[in-house]
C-alpha cells in the first residue's frame, strides 16, 4: 500500500512541476525539423515542486524542452496521425513477398518512395516513423526521403529499438534491447532530421504477464524516453498488449491497467517530461481468438476508461496502434473514441491498417503507383475523419474489412 501511494504521489508532483509547458509552446514550424541543424549541447535546469522542502523532487529539462513540446503538439495536431513505415528490412521483405517481389534495397526504396510522395499526404499525416535505412535513403528520384516528408509538412521519426529477445527468468516472455549506444544514435538521428523516436516492447497476456516482464518493459521504455528527450527527440512510448489469446476484454483491461501504472511510475522516476512524449498504446479489445467480439462502442468505453484512469492530461497525444485489426475495424474504433471531447489528442499510428490495401494495389508495378497512392490517401483520410469523430464507414472495400491478425507476429 505504501509503495502504491508513493508512486501516485511521485506522478502527481511531476505533473505539478511541468503543468504550464503545453500552454506556452506553439506548433513546430517545418523549418525547425530540416536536416542539418547543428547539435545543441544539452543543458540542465531544475524545477522544484516544493522549494522549501529539503527532499524536494527535481525534474530535469534539457535545452530541447520547448522544442520537444512543439514537436509533440505538431504530431498531435487536429485531423492528423502517424504513418508507421518503420518495418525492419526483414519484415518489409515479408510484405514484398506477399505481392511476389524480392526483398532488395531497390524494391524497398520503390515502395517507400510511393508512400512518402503520395500527393497531399500531409493533410492527414503529421508524422512518419522510419526505419534507419529509410532515414538515410533517397527516393527513386534522388531526393532525400526526409526532405520529401518535410515538404509535405510531415515530421520525420525513427525506430530506435533493436528488437525483442527472450527474457531470462520469465514465462517465455521477451524484452526489448537497444539501450546500449542509444544516446549517440539518437544524437545522429536528430542531425539527420528526425524529431521523434519510437521504441516498441510487448506484453503477452497468455504468458502471464509476469511482474518481471511488466517491470522490464516499463523500465526500458522509461530509460529510452529519457535518453531520446536528451537528444531532442520526442519519444513514442509503446508497450503493446498483444492481441494473441482467447481472453476477454475485461482481462485485457486488467493487464493494461497494471502495465500503464508501471510505465508512468518509471517515466516519472526517470524525470521524463510528460508534455514532450507521445503514447502508442493498444486499444482495449478481447484477445484475437476470443469468441466474444467487441463492438466499436465497447472498445471505446473500455479504452477511454483506461486512459482516464492512467494517462495524465499533460500528455499531448495518444496515437493508437492497430495491432492486427482490419483497416476498417481500426478506423471505426478510433472514431468511436472521438465522439466526445478528450483531454488528449486521440489519434492513430498505423502501419498495416494504412498500408495493406495500398501495398496490394501497387503489386510492384510502376503503372499502379497512382492507384496505390490513392488507396493510401483513402485510408489516411478515413482515419483523419475518425480522429475528428466524423467517420461513417460508408463505401469501404471488402479488402479493407479483412482482419490482419497474425499469431506470434514479429515486427
Catalytic annotation, residues: 238, 280
Residue in this structure with the C-alpha cell 499469431, named with its chain if needed? 407
Nearest Cα residue to 307 out of 272, 243, 237, 260: 260
What is the full DSSP assignment across 330-395?
HHHHHHHHTSS--SSEEEEEESHHHHHHHHHHHTT-GGGHHHHHHHHHHHHHHHHHHHTT----TT
Paired residues of 174 in beta bridges: 166
Residue 252, C-beta contacts closer than 8 angstroms, at least 6 positions apart: 205, 241, 282, 284, 285, 286, 287, 302
Nearest Cα residue to 21 out of 45, 43, 39: 45
Residue in this structure with the C-alpha cell 492481441, named with its chain if needed? 243
103: buried, middle or exposed (CB in 10 Å: 19+, 13-18, 0-12)?
middle
CA–CA dist 24, 1 (Å, integer) = 37
Instruction: Dump strand ranges (E) for 229-280.
Output: 234-241, 278-279
CB contact at 8 A, 190 and 235:
no
Phi, psi of 283 (to 5 degrees): -70, 155
Phi, psi of 271 (to 5 degrees): 60, 35
The SS3 assignment for 111 reads helix
What is the full DSSP assignment across 186-207?
HHHHHHHT--EEEEEEEE-STT
- The helix (run of H) or strand (run of E) holding residue 254 is helix 249-269
298: buried, middle or exposed (CB in 10 Å: 19+, 13-18, 0-12)?
middle
Residue in this structure with the C-alpha cell 516544493, named with its chain if needed? 50
Beta-carbon neighbour count of residue 42 at 10 Å?
A: 16
Amino acid at each position: 500500500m505504501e509503495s502504491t501511494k508513493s508512486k501516485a504521489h511521485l506522478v502527481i508532483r511531476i505533473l505539478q512541476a511541468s503543468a504550464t509547458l503545453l500552454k506556452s509552446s506553439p506548433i513546430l514550424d517545418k523549418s525547425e525539423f530540416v536536416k542539418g541543424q547543428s547539435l545543441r549541447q544539452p543543458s540542465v535546469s531544475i524545477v522544484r515542486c516544493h522549494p522549501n522542502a529539503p527532499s524536494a523532487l527535481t525534474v530535469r529539462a534539457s535545452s530541447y524542452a520547448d522544442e520537444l513540446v512543439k514537436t509533440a503538439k505538431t504530431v498531435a495536431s487536429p485531423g492528423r496521425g502517424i504513418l508507421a513505415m518503420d518495418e525492419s528490412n526483414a519484415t518489409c521483405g515479408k510484405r514484398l513477398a506477399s505481392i511476389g517481389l524480392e526483398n532488395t534495397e531497390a524494391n524497398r526504396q520503390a515502395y517507400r518512395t510511393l508512400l512518402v510522395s503520395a500527393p497531399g499526404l500531409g493533410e492527414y499525416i503529421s508524422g512518419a516513423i522510419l526505419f534507419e535505412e529509410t532515414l538515410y535513403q533517397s527516393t527513386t528520384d534522388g531526393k532525400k526521403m526526409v526532405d520529401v516528408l518535410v515538404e509535405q509538412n510531415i515530421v520525420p521519426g525513427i525506430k530506435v529499438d533493436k528488437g525483442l529477445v527472450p527474457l531470462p527468468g520469465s514465462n517465455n516472455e521477451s524484452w526489448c534491447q537497444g539501450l546500449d549506444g542509444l544516446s549517440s544514435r539518437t544524437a545522429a538521428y536528430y542531425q539527420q532530421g528526425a524529431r521523434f523516436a519510437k521504441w516498441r516492447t510487448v506484453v503477452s497476456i497468455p504468458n502471464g504477464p509476469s511482474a518481471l516482464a511488466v517491470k522490464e518493459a516499463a523500465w526500458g521504455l522509461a530509460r529510452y524516453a529519457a535518453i531520446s528527450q536528451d537528444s531532442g527527440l520526442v519519444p513514442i512510448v509503446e508497450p503493446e498488449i498483444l492481441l494473441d489469446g482467447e481472453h476477454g476484454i475485461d482481462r485485457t483491461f486488467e493487464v493494461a491497467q497494471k502495465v500503464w501504472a508501471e510505465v508512468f511510475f518509471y517515466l516519472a522516476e526517470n524525470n521524463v517530461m510528460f508534455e514532450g512524449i507521445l503514447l502508442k498504446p493498444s486499444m482495449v479489445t478481447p484477445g484475437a481468438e476470443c469468441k466474444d467480439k467487441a463492438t466499436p462502442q465497447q472498445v471505446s468505453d473500455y479504452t477511454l476508461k483506461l486512459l482516464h484512469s492512467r494517462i495524465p492530461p499533460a500528455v499531448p497525444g495518444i496515437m493508437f496502434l492497430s495491432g492486427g485489426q482490419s483497416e476498417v475495424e481500426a478506423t471505426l474504433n478510433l472514431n468511436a473514441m472521438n465522439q466526445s471531447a478528450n483531454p488528449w489528442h486521440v489519434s492513430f499510428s498505423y502501419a498495416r491498417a494504412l498500408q495493406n490495401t495500398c501495398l496490394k494495389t501497387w503489386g510492384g508495378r510502376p503503372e499502379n503507383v497512382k492507384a496505390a497512392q490513392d488507396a493510401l490517401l483513402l485510408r489516411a483520410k478515413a482515419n483523419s475523419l475518425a480522429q475528428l469523430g466524423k467517420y461513417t464507414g460508408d463505401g469501404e472495400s471488402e479488402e479493407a474489412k479483412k482482419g490482419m491478425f497474425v499469431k506470434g507476429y514479429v515486427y
